[in-house]
Amino acid sequence: PRVIIADEPTSGLDAEVKIEILHLIKEKVTGNRTLFLITHDLGTASFLCTRLVVMYAGEIVETGPTKEVLSRPFHPYTKGLLASLPSAGLNTIPGTSPSPSSLPAGCRFSERCIAAMERCRKEHPPMKEVGDNRQVRCFLYD
């Protein structure tokens, strides 16, 4: 196939089988074949993907080359995800994701964001270019 879509392909697998599956996928994504990986596992994304798209509450909040996003995240949600990894101390993001039927009026992350400003609760931030091949949806970069 020209495109492979893998939705949480290693979820629930033990470490050994997971590594086998990841290598198998990597082996199959050659030439002009494209992989769309849907995952909560940043390690898996880092291993398989050249470009990362971070989503929160149904919308894209940050995109860019995988290595750059993971080493220098811009969006507070991306920063929170990285801080919640075991290697970073398992710091949780306070609160829970909003229900799709009652999304906040402004930024969808505003109720959980430690950097939220007054404006964030009223206006919905657009995606903004923030350098080489990177975009973020956050008023901190206006």
Give the binding site for ligand SF4 (CB under 6 A): 76, 107, 109-110, 113, 115-117, 120, 125, 138-140
Phi/psi of residue 113, nearest 5 degrees: -90, 125
- Could you tell me which residues come within 8 angstroms of residue 70 by beta carbon, excluding any fewer than 6 positions away? 42, 46, 52, 82
CB of 95 to ligand SF4, least distance (A): 12
Q: Maximum CA pair distance of the chain? A: 48
**CB-CB neighbours of 103 under 10 Å:** 14
Beta bridge partners of 52: 64
Q: Which residue lies nearer to ligand SF4 by CB, 15 or 114?
A: 114
Which two three-digit tokens encode residue 24? 């198998």
Q: Smallest distance, Å, CB 104 to ligand SF4?
A: 9
Q: Tokens for 89, please give them.
A: 């101390």
CB of 131 to ligand SF4, least distance (A): 17
Indicate the residue among 22 and 138 with the shorter CB distance to ligand SF4: 138
Whichever of 9 and 125 has its CB closer to ligand SF4, that residue is 125
The residue among 45 and 113 lying less far from ligand SF4, judged by its C-beta, is: 113
